Structure 1
């Protein structure tokens, strides 16, 4: 088994590349896909992409649980049953993948009927969804293999495959357009790509020593441990998408559907930026779990502080730049009328972006310390509060009320998670208070920056603060190593 000690900087760079480069490619590919497949087929293609992501909940959180349990054992040097845990997780995920496959094959006609597609496309759509279903076991198995590799900090290996898969997600349907405008060849290509991706992850796992097919056995006690952790993750994963889409549904029903783009476009812009905090958390989660299992509270505190500072340094300058330059940016991108309507919304959403990004640190720490039930219960509390606030604010303030409600939920989530993590781990109280102070000051600076009359000065301010953040964060992240 190879032993590596990659720096966090190395891992974060690979995570950002693995998510960011395919995102940039998507922006280039989408116009050609839309022109080639037409509105209805492209609409179904976007649903196919969404289903690939949504059906990943059929791993029942075992992928994340595998990262947690393997990190625990590596951190505490108790690796006797590590191959049992691995084999139990992957066999279970394989079965769950087959169940997801069967469900989608059976449900495909019903889904097509709900979508109310043109009758000439129904047979093609049903067949495309059933071909997609054949790829679901590979999607779920990949999640387990990624979790296994994340526990061993093999982020460079994960993201080499993830980068290729991300490009194929858009490139394969684009390539199939040279043969046919039907979605059937496109979904065949996507299913084959998923199978190939799983094969690559399997080979890397075996090569790095993370997976040994000749060792380990299925163990019911390990399964209970995996499901005990993973079931709470699944609950969170079910509630989060519901809260993420609730605002758009309510806007369409309470205000007016024609106003939805004024909210949806800036909302989508902010949502796409979440790949940055997700990339950072992917690196820190297994490190949190390892420090926790090794009973090293001082190292855990130091790592938590470094993670929060790095997250703030990475996200804040981007949020500040978007907030400060929103009027000019939206005018250039779309038009002045759109800018006038959407700028106030984008301002509130930028505040929410900062709060949501920082909240991911205590969220990851609570899960890494074996408390996923806390994060799931907090989501259960937040859902009705958010729904009521969204309804009331929309009725009183129109679509800007939706942005206020969303950012309010992010603030509530951040405060609750910070409080819970500080109670669970008292050593985190001081860095949590310090981070909260920094966030409040940062938001105040953002609000003040919008009143600077010159766009050039606002741009200079954003770049300057970004450079300051990089200068302060770089030495910290370069010193951090996974096994220190």
Structure 2
């Protein structure tokens, strides 16, 4: 089990480097982009990118299915079956890319009029949709190869590709906007950059898996059925996730104004950063759970859930609490005081994370127990959409945030958690003791001290705000390492630092 934990730690660490770098770039670029393309222009940019994001759903869950299936067949050394699955996914993605292009062209031509958008931005929004549609034809097939790297549990390489892509995209963004171009040229050059970077997936997949063959001759109904028997459910889960996390901008664009999307987006960024950190910390679990499931190691799956959830919350709780306490000064000094007027949006959205912060999703996905996940996700997303539309009228942006957060707060602990514990045969007492008690006590202590510090001396600039956050983290981890961990946990964390980099 120790080697398994070390593998998860290594994969999570490499994911962390890439994600943190991407987050830092987003933090730096957001005020720069708003300054150069304006509040309304940035709102239009975010809205159109959200629309294109919905077409990522036509992935149909194939990506997650690939990770699971590649991990299982690789564990059994069934290389020919791996090639069949990869080839089938590759050419299926090629067809999906054509469908995505057709869909984006249709929206650009027929449906943009439903949004409350200044007339001068309509043609720009249309052109962006055309650009993304064309590049989708070429970029979608390469998604199959990203699934190969993840299924082989080489998250160091997916992290490297993510790092390169994020860095080059940021450089392109700065260069394009400094040259005086607008959102159309920005999307064009970023799309080309990301498409070229995705070719690295092919290079590394071939190097790691020399037996890799992608051929129409390997496409057959059997692997297609295997992929879609799992991926259809994952598609529906992705759809519900899209409704939960991405429809806010659509609701604001229809019922309020496109300009207000920018104010919401700035505050939403803290939640999106939190979401990325959350998924970063959980990313390595699906193939690991699949591997244990393929070997019939149920005890290992139980231990994986408890241990990974425990360490997740040791990191995640203080991160969320620091963002909540410092949300207003962070936004004010980062983007501007006018955006900080809506800081309650950030705090409301962040609150929901305390009710869904465990490893249940990737564990259940890895062992194929996703039917109830789908039911819960549908309940969550539909409630989210209805509440957001209902509350946007009387409460504006705050209402949209409440509509997003309330379903997680209400349904997470009352419906989803009992199912998880029953499936994994874990008592609530053991769950709460391992995953929540110490995390709540020590992160709560940290947050209380941070709140008092802010009341005594409110941070006067972004540097002071950063110092407050860093000091809070340092205090928290000092307390945790001193008195918050058992001896075996402390020794395990220190032993993780001795891992060795895998060879390509």
Cα drift, residue 61 of structure 1:
0.5
Partner of 1:17: 17
Q: Which residue of 2 aligns with 1:376?
A: 374
Contact 1:365/1:421, CA 8 A, preserved across alignment: no
* Deviation at residue 292 of structure 1 after TM alignment: 1.2
Displacement of 1:382 after TM fit? 2.6
- Mapping of 1:32-43 within 5 angstroms? 32-39=32-39, 41-43=41-43
CA distance in 2, matches of 1:41, 1:324: 30
After TM superposition, give the deviation of residue 362 of structure 1 in Å.
0.3
- Structure 1 segment 24-103 matched on structure 2, within 5 A: 24-39=24-39, 41-103=41-103
CA distance in structure 1 between the partners assigned to 2:439 and 2:257 by the alignment: 34
Matches within 5 A, 1:221-300: 221-244=222-245, 265-300=266-301
* 1:199 alignment partner in structure 2: 199
Paired residues of 2:135 and 2:195 also in contact (CA < 8 A): yes
Partner of 1:465: 476
Q: C-alpha distance in 2, partners of 1:34/1:400?
A: 22
| 1:474 equivalenced with 2:488 (yes/no) | no
Alpha-carbon shift at residue 30 of structure 1 (Å): 3.5
| CA offsets 1:419-443 (integer angstroms, 9 cap, x no match) | 2222222258665343254566568
- CA-to-aligned-CA distance 1:201-234 (integer Å, 9 cap, x gap): 1111111117612677112121112112111111
Describe the shift of the 1:261–1:131 C-alpha distance in structure 2 as closer, same or farther (beyond 3 A). closer
Cα offset, 1:55, TM superposition: 2.0
Structure 1 residues 176 and 267, CA, compared in 2 at 3 Å: closer, same or farther?
closer
**Other-structure match for 2:461:** none
300-309 vs 25-34, greater mean Cα deviation: 25-34
State the alpha-carbon separation in 1 of the partners of residues 448 and 106 from structure 2.
55
**Do structure 1's residue 154 and structure 2's residue 173 form an aligned pair?**
no
Once the two structures are superposed, the pairs formed by residues 312-351 of structure 1 within 5 Å of their partners are: 312-325=313-326, 342=343, 347-351=347-351
Q: Would you say the 8 A contact 2:321–2:447 is kept in 1?
A: no
Q: How much does 1:62 deviate? A: 0.3
Displacement, 1:119? 5.6
When normalised by structure 2's length, the TM-score is 0.78
Question: Which deviates more from structure 2 when the two are superposed, residues 307-316 or residues 471-480?
Answer: 471-480
2:137 & 2:426 partners in 1: Cα distance? 42
- How far, CA to CA, are the matches of 1:126 and 1:424 in structure 2? 47
CA deviation string 1:337-359 (max 9, x = no partner): 9878745x655544322333x24
Contact 2:443 2:476 in 1 (8 A): no
C-alpha change, 1:401 and 1:470, in structure 2 (3 Å) is farther
Instruction: Quickly say closer, same or farther: Cα 1:71–1:351, change in 2 above 3 A.
Output: same
Separation (CA, whole Å) in 2 of partners of 1:338 and 1:114: 26
In 2: Cα distance, 1:113 partner to 1:211 partner: 50
Aligned partners of 1:400 and 1:185: how far apart in 2?
Answer: 33
- Looking at structure 2, the residues matched to 431 and 403 of structure 1 have their Cα atoms a distance apart, in angstroms, of 33
User: Secondary structure at 1:207's aligned position in 2?
Assistant: helix
**Matches of 1:442 and 1:396 in 2, distance apart?**
38
Q: Give 3-state SS (helix, strand or coil) of 1:273's partner.
A: helix
Q: Which shows bigger deviation, 432-441 or 448-457?
A: 448-457
CA contact (8 A) 2:90 2:141 kept: yes
Residue pair 1:132, 1:190 contacting (<8 A) in 2 also: no
Return the alpha-carbon distance in structure 2 between the equivalents of residues 32 and 144 of structure 1: 34
* Contact 1:251/1:260, CA 8 A, preserved across alignment: yes
Please name the residue that 2:365 is paired with. 367
Aligned positions of 1:409-424 closer than 5 A? 409-411=407-409, 412-424=411-423
Distance 1:211-1:436 versus aligned 2 partners, 3 A rule: farther
SS state at 2:233 partner: helix
Distance in 2 between residues matched to 1:398 and 1:103, nearest whole Å:
31
* Alpha-carbon shift at residue 92 of structure 1 (Å): 0.8
Rounded to whole Å, the distance in 1 between the matches of 2:426 and 2:264 is: 40
Greater alpha carbon shift after TM alignment, 100-109 vs 474-483: 474-483
Structure 2 vs 1, CA of residues 470 and 386 (structure 1 numbering), >3 Å: closer, same or farther? farther
RMSD between aligned residues? 4.2
- 1:138 is displaced (CA, Å) by 3.8
Gaps of 5+ in 1: none
Deviates more, 1:220-229 or 1:263-272: 263-272
In the other structure, the counterpart of 2:143 is 143
Cα separation, 2, equivalents of 1:130 and 1:253: 22
Report how far residue 10 of structure 1 moved. 3.0
Report the equivalent of 1:176.
Answer: 176
Listed as ranges, the gaps of 5+ residues in structure 2 are: 458-467, 483-489
- The alpha-carbon deviation at position 128 of structure 1 amounts to 3.5
2:109, 2:126 within 8 Å by CA — same for their partners in 1?
Answer: yes
Q: Give SS of 1:81's match.
A: helix
